[in-house]
C-alpha cells in the first residue's frame, strides 16, 4: 500500500489517504469499508464526527490550512 498522506484542505477537512487505521479513544478501530481515503472534520460542525459531512460549508468555517511551524 501507499504511504499515508495527510492534507489539510483549505476551508475544509483533513484528507487522510494511504495505508492507515483510524482508532477511537478506547483503541477500537473504525470500520472503513475498504476505503483508502477519508475526510476528517476540522470545523467541529459535523454530525458524524470524526468524519466530515460537509457541515463546514454551511457553518462558515474558514481556515486556509497553510503550513507553519508546529
* Predicted pLDDT at 1: 56
Domain of 13 in residue numbering reads as: 1-23+36-63
**pLDDT for residue 63 is more than 80:** yes
CB contact at 8 A, 8 and 56: no
29 domain residue, yes or no: no
Q: Report how many domains make up the chain.
A: 1
Convert the pLDDT of each residue in 2-59 to its tens digit. 699 999 999 999 999 999 999 999 999 999 999 999 999 999 999 999 999 999 999 9
Give pTM, 2 decimals. Answer: 0.90
Q: Are 55 and 11 in contact (CB under 8 A)?
A: no
Question: Does residue 50 belong to any structural domain of this protein?
Answer: yes
The CATH number of whichever domain residue 56 belongs to comes to 3.40.5.90
Amino acid at each position: 500500500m501507499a504511504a499515508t498522506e495527510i492534507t489539510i484542505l483549505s476551508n475544509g477537512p483533513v484528507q487522510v489517504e494511504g495505508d492507515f487505521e483510524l482508532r477511537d479513544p478506547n483503541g477500537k478501530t473504525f470500520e472503513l469499508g475498504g476505503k483508502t481515503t477519508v475526510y476528517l472534520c476540522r470545523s467541529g460542525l459535523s454530525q458524524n464526527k470524526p468524519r466530515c459531512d460537509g457541515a463546514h460549508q454551511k457553518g462558515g468555517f474558514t481556515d486556509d490550512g497553510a503550513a507553519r511551524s508546529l
